[in-house]
Amino acid sequence: MKYVYLFIFGILLFNCKNESKSTSDVAESTETETVETAKDSLIYPEEKYFKSIRQVTFGGDNAEAYWSFDDKQLVFQSNNKAWNVGCDQMFLMNANQTFTDSIAPPMISTGKGRTTCAYFLPDNKHIIYASTHLKQDECPDTPLRKNGKYIWPIYDSYDIFVADLEGNIVKQLTNEIGYDAEPTVSPKGDKIVFTSTRSGDLELYTMNIDGSDVKQITSELGYDGGAFFSPDGTKLIFRSSRPKTEEEIKEYKDLLAEGLVEPTEMELYICNADGSDLRQLTDLGNANWSPFFHPSGEKILFSSNFEAERGFPFNLYLIDLDGRNLERVTHGETFDAFPVFSSDGKHLAFSSNRNNGGGRDTNLFIAEWKD
C-alpha cells in the first residue's frame, strides 16, 4: 500500500500533539505577501466551510496542532529535519505565524526521545505531552509494516509530562509500566483523557489536571485512542478498533504483545465523560479517526478514507451525534486530517498534503470556518 506515507501521522500521534528557545525569539509573524495572496487558492471549489485558508508550515511532517485556551497560540509536533530534529518534537507558535525551513518555531519538548500529542493546559502557560525521553535520548525505532501490513508502534516508554512554554518539564503525570500517551484536556479545564496499556489493553482513562483520581473509561477489547472532550466537557469522542473474530482477536493481541497496533480498520465511538452510554457512531469501514467536536457540540468533524478504493485519499467529514447527515468537508486527492477548532469556533487547524508539489510533506493549515 503505497499510501502509507499519507498516514504517517499515526506515528506522530503516538497517534493524537525542543528545546527552550523563547517565543519572543521568533518574529511575531513571518508571513510573506506571496503566502497571503495564495491562501484562497488552497481552498478547493467544493470546500464551502472554508472562508479563507493559510498554510503555516512548508516542509517535513507536521501534525496535531492544538490551540491554547485563549486561541493566541498553538502547539504542534514536527519531524522537520531542517529544524534539527530526528523525530517528532513539540513546537510552539503564535496563531498568526508562518514557518519555513529557514525560520523555525521554538521547540518546547526536551529534544530527546520521541514525543506525541501535546495539549495546552487552561492557564495557557503550560502544556502536557507524551515522551519517551526517560528511556533513551535517541529516537526509538519506528516500524511501519509487519507481515506486509501497516502498523503503529505503541512505545511502552511513553509517559505524560507537564512543561512550561520555555520547555522546562515541571511535572510527570504518569509513571505506570506501559504506554501512557495521547492526552487531551477538557474545555472545562478540569480533566485529562489519555490512552494507556496499564490494564493490558489499549483503553481510555481520565485524570484530574494534577494527575490525581485516575479512572478507566473503556474496557472492551481493542484499541481506544485519540479521544477529545465535547465543548461542555460531558462527552468523549474517540477512534477504536474492535476485533471480533478469533483470527482478528489473535492478531490484535499478538501485535499488542510486541508493542504494535494495526490502524487500518477503525470506527468512531462516543460516550459520556465517565464512560457511560458508550455507543458506536460510525460504521463506514476503512479508517475513521482524528475526530473533534464541532463548536456546537452537535456534530463531529473527522478524517476518513471510507470512500477510497486504494487506501487514500483521506478527507474530512461532518456527522451528527446520532450518526446521521454525513457530509464531506474537504475534497482533496491525498490527505486531510487532525481537524481542531479554536475555542471561539472561528478557525480550524488541520494537517494536509495539499500544496506540497506532489511530494510527501504534510503541513499545517489554518482555515477560517463558516457554517
Average model confidence (pLDDT) for the chain?
89
User: What pLDDT, on the 0 to 100 scale, is given for residue 147?
Assistant: 76
Amino acid at 52: S
Asked if the model's pLDDT at residue 15 lies above 70, the reply is: no
More confident residue, 242 or 11: 242
User: What pLDDT, on the 0 to 100 scale, is given for residue 237?
Assistant: 98
What CA–CA distance (Å, rounded) separates 308 from 16?
22
What CA–CA distance (Å, rounded) separates 210 from 226?
20
Spatial CA neighbour of 186 closest among 285, 267, 120, 264: 120
| Residues recorded for the chain | 371
Asked if the model's pLDDT at residue 6 lies above 80, the reply is: no
Q: How far is CA 331 from CA 91, 99, 130, in A?
A: 28, 25, 32
Backbone phi, then psi, for 55, in 5-degree steps? Answer: -85, 130
DSSP 238-296: EEE----SHHHHHHHHHHHHTTEE--SSBEEEEEETTS-S-EE-----SBEEEEEE-TT
Asked if the model's pLDDT at residue 327 lies above 90, the reply is: yes
Rounded mean pLDDT of 176-197? 97
Task: Could you list the beta-strand ranges (E) of 165-257.
Answer: 169-172, 180-185, 191-196, 203-208, 215-216, 224-229, 235-240
Rounded mean pLDDT of 168-174? 98
Confidence of residue 357 (pLDDT cuts 50, 70, 90): confident
Residues of the chain above pLDDT 90, percent: 82
Q: Which of 10-14, 56-60, 149-153, 337-341 holds the top average pLDDT?
A: 337-341
What CA–CA distance (Å, rounded) separates 218 from 196?
11
User: What pLDDT, on the 0 to 100 scale, is given for residue 3?
Assistant: 36
Q: Cite the DSSP H helix spans in the chain.
A: 9-13, 33-38, 246-257
Burial class (CB in 10 A: 0-12, 13-18, 19+), 257: exposed
Amino acid at 212: S
Spatial CA neighbour of 207 closest among 291, 145, 121: 121
Asked if the model's pLDDT at residue 22 lies above 80, the reply is: no
Cα radius of gyration (the chain): 19
Q: Provide the sign of the torsion angle of the four alpha carbons 320, 323, 325, 331, taken in this order.
A: positive
β-bridge mates for residue 195, sequence order:
181, 204
- Residues 258-267 have pLDDT tens digits of 999 998 899 9
Rounded mean pLDDT of 167-182? 97
Asked if the model's pLDDT at residue 20 lies above 70, the reply is: no
Peptide bond into 105 cis (omega under 30): no
Asked if the model's pLDDT at residue 352 lies above 90, the reply is: yes
Rounded mean pLDDT of 305-328? 95
CB-based contacts of 327, cutoff 8 Å, min separation 6? 317, 318, 319
What CA–CA distance (Å, rounded) separates 270 from 228?
10
Burial class (CB in 10 A: 0-12, 13-18, 19+), 31: middle
Asked if the model's pLDDT at residue 182 lies above 50, the reply is: yes
Confidence of residue 140 (pLDDT cuts 50, 70, 90): very high
336, 350 in Cβ contact below 8 A? yes
Spatial CA neighbour of 178 closest among 197, 153, 204, 160: 197
Confidence of residue 108 (pLDDT cuts 50, 70, 90): very high
Asked if the model's pLDDT at residue 17 lies above 90, the reply is: no
Name the strand (E) or helix (H) holding 328.
strand 327-328
Rounded mean pLDDT of 113-117? 96
More confident residue, 105 or 148: 105
SS3 state of residue 35: helix
Residue that is written with C-alpha cell 520555555 in the block: 166
Spatial CA neighbour of 351 closest among 282, 289, 260, 296: 289
SS3 state of residue 199: coil
User: What pLDDT, on the 0 to 100 scale, is given for residue 269?
Assistant: 98
User: What pLDDT, on the 0 to 100 scale, is given for residue 143?
Assistant: 78
User: What pLDDT, on the 0 to 100 scale, is given for residue 351?
Assistant: 98
